[in-house]
Structure 1
């Protein structure tokens, strides 16, 4: 995509602190880090969500995510990681290009677990929700 900042990074049009790269995926440090080593892993091909990209590319994105975690473990030595994807504006996706956030976590860093980000408990029984999801897979 012509005006996508992540496409420009992937194409080498914009500089980044690249830390890992394959033919189809690039990892670099976030310019507004939430922790030392906060990294982003992106496919070089433009796509806003997981469902817009081929399975093989998504698999490669997650293989690179694993490799970046290994690098961060050896270099930064965090106590843990929060790994996540925001898809869509309502989730906080600021750049409409799929990216995996790898945020090194440290004891007493003030962060919360990823499941604490949302507090919107369902109004209906989870069995009803599960039934709707299973029915959607039949179509």
Structure 2
């Protein structure tokens, strides 16, 4: 099993380039107002497919009732903070 932390620097650079290209495509086609970027590393973090992959999630105003906390929403009691 290779997760993000097992990647070489070259692989991480390639992934970052791909994320930026993907963002550009999403920007031009769907015009999101923001993004969440996530990586699940290990079963305790919710990883169910044991290879490295990046979640690039386009976001829009009002796509959920209250986006405060962003990806922190994976731990509901920690999502809302001030």
* TM range, smaller chain: 0.7 to 0.9
Choose which of 50, 63, 67 in structure 2 pairs with 1:96: 50
- 1:87, 1:93 within 8 Å by CA — same for their partners in 2? yes
CA deviation after TM superposition for structure 1 residue 115, in Å: 2.5
1:112-123 equivalences under 5 Å are 112=67, 113-118=70-75, 119=77
Cα distance in 2 for residues equivalent to 1:103 and 1:50: 18
Aligned length: 74
Bigger mean CA deviation after superposition, 50-59 or 92-101: 50-59
Q: TM-score, normalised by structure 1?
A: 0.48
Cα distance in 2 for residues equivalent to 1:75 and 1:48: 32
Greater fraction strand: 1
CA deviation after TM superposition for structure 1 residue 77, in Å: 0.8
| Aligned equivalent of 1:84 | 38
Q: TM-score, normalised by structure 2?
A: 0.78
Greater fraction helix: 2
5+ residue gaps, structure 1, are: 1-46, 121-139
Choose which of 63, 69, 73 in structure 1 pairs with 2:23: 69
Larger relative contact order, structure 1 or 2 (CA cutoff 8 Å, min sep 6): 2
Choose which of 33, 40, 48 in structure 1 pairs with 2:2: 48
Cα distance in 2 for residues equivalent to 1:96 and 1:60: 19
Cα distance in 1 for residues equivalent to 2:55 and 2:5: 18
| Aligned equivalent of 2:12 | 58
* RMSD (Å), alpha carbons: 1.8
